[in-house]
Every structure is written in C-alpha cells, then in structure tokens.
Amino acid sequence: MKADNGKPRATSFWARYRNLILVISIILFLPPLAAIVQLTGDVNFCGRWCPRMFFVWREGTTMTAFLMGFVRSYMGVALVVTILGTTLAFGRYWCSHLCPVASPLELGSRLVPAPLKLDFSKTPAPSFRYAYLSVYFIVPAIGIGSLCCNYCNFAAVPRLFAAPFSAGDLTYFLRFQGVVNLGLLLFLGIFAKGGRAYCNLLCPIGALDALSNRIGAKFGRRIRIDRTKCTNCGECSKVCPAWAIDTQGDTTIINQLSCMPCRLCQGACQTQAIYYGKPAS
C-alpha cells in the first residue's frame, strides 16, 4: 500500500492508530481523569502504583521491609511484570504505544518547531542509560543518595497535568527538585527531537524494558530488516525516536537494546524492507 507521497505506509493496527492510543493512554492514566489509577483509590503513580522503587535495595533495609515494598506497590509490581513479560514476546509496546509518561513528551515535541529542537541522537544511549541504571541500583544500596523519587518521571508527568487544577501538585514544582524534573521533561522531552530523549537516557523502566527486549529478540516478535530489500538509504534512522537504527557502510542494523515498535521506520522505508515479526529461521 502506498501513501500519497509515494512512500509505503505501515498498515497494522498498532501503526495506524498509534497516535490515538497515545492520547487514550494519557486520558486514562493522567489527571484530570486518571481513571485507571482511581480504580485502586489512587490519584497518580506514587504509592500502590509506583513502578520504580520497590526493586531498589536501600542501605539498612531489612528483608522484611524490602518485601513489604512489593506489597505496598502491588500495582506497580504488576505493571512492571506485565511490561517486561509482554516485551519478551512482542517488543516494547508499553514504551512505544502505552506509556502515559512518555506519550505527552513525544506528542508535545511534535508541536515544537524543528529549529528549536535539540538532537541527542548521536549519544550512545545504551551506554548512558545503563550507567544511570547502575547508579540507580548501587547508590541507594551503599547509602550515599538515591535517584528514585527525586528524579521520577512517573511522579513529575502526572503532577504536571494536575498542577493547573491542584495546589498540592503545583507545590511539587515550586522547589528545587521540582524545577529540575520540569527542566528534564522539557529539555529531554518536549524540546528533544522525537521527544524520547528522557526515555532513551533516564527512564529506569525503559532501561529494564530494553533489556527484556534484547533478551527476547531471539524468539519474540520485533522490528527487523529484510536484508534482501534494504538499500541502506538511512531514511529509517532519520525518523527513529529511539536512535536504534544505524547505517554502517553497506549494512543497516537495528539495536534491540533501544528499539521499540513505534513503526515509524516502517512508514519511512520506501522498499518495505522493515517488518515486524519473529526472527527468520
């Protein structure tokens, strides 16, 4: 199937309705409605829904207290287990289509004129991301600080949506840490080319999800390249928000440690060399 501009168009449900799904995710998970989190009597991703803190060991924590963190954040545990499990089989659909924290950043970045956008795509994202993730785990364990709540995108984005309506949520941003978080969301989200620099560099859930994606790539469905059709034109890498596609000489490769099935590359490929599926046997 060809689009008006002559380019092939990705036709799967997930490709065609991705923008709509991103918007629905925002409506369901974020204020002012936040219907999904209200099912458990919550208003945001803190507490029961916290997906970032339960797996972090802190200095002086007893095993009982550590395990109680799993109980306290039971919805966060369920969310993370579901994300990582589905990613093994199907790829990072949470990150590409469903994450309500990333959705507004990507959609917001599309409203920013191209000359104002910052291009972080030359950054080797996995190196940065896993340095951050290592510190995320190690520093609390040895007791010299924490990256959990202070730099939490799952806290900052919902509060950004609630701040116009709620003095409590506005208060979140009227302090040093809130200003830093707001700056990160703007600098690495709204004003970043593709809107996914925060996801690629600083999201611990995204980092774990990317590991799951890499591990499952040997048997699961992923975005892949048909080498018999690929002309190495590089058009796919220009649109990739995850900076996952690299053309080296006469070979184009997809780094499954960064790729998410947003299908933007599929839409950009003029030879239909990119497909979503299991590895060729």
Partner 1 sequence: MKRTLVFLFAAVLSVTAAWYRPGDSAHAMGMVSIKGGRAHHPVHFPSGKDRYTLVLTGTVLPPYQGDARVVVEGEPALPYSVYGSDPIVDLGLRHRPYFDDQTLTGLQPRDRFTVWVVIRPPEPLAAGKYNVTFYDTVTDRPVLQIPVFFGGGEGHHHEG
Footprint on this chain of partner 1 (rule: CB under 8 A): 31-35, 38-41, 43-44, 46-48, 123-124, 126-132, 134-136, 139-140, 144-151, 162, 165-169, 171-172, 174-178, 201
Q: CB-wise, 79 or 125, nearer to partner 1?
A: 125
Q: CB–CB of 100/25 below 8 Å? A: yes
Nearer to partner 1, 11 or 150 (CB): 150
Least distance (Å) between residue 11 CB and partner 1? 36
* Residue 47 C-beta: closest distance to partner 1, Å: 6
Instruction: Supply angle C-alpha 109, 167, 161, rounded to 5.
Output: 20
Q: Shortest Cβ distance from residue 133 to partner 1 (Å)?
A: 9
Name the residue type at position 127: S
Nearer to partner 1, 199 or 230 (CB): 199
- The least distance separating partner 1 from the CB of residue 104, rounded to whole angstroms, comes to 16
- Please name the residues in contact with 39: beta carbons below 8 A apart, sequence gap of 6 or more: none
Residue-level length of the chain: 281
- CB closer to partner 1 out of 3 and 144: 144
Helix ranges (DSSP H) in the chain: 13-16, 18-29, 35-38, 63-72, 74-90, 93, 103-109, 125-142, 153-162, 167-173, 176-185, 197-202, 204-216, 235-239, 264-268
Closer to partner 1 by Cβ: residue 18 or 196: 196
d(CA 205, CA 276): 23
> For residues 117-126, b (16+ Cβ closer than 10 Å) or e, as one string?
beebbeeebb
Q: In whole angstroms, how close is the CB of 187 to partner 1 at the nearest point?
A: 14
Q: Find the shortest distance in angstroms from Cβ 41 to partner 1.
A: 4
CB nearer to partner 1: pick between 40 and 82 = 40
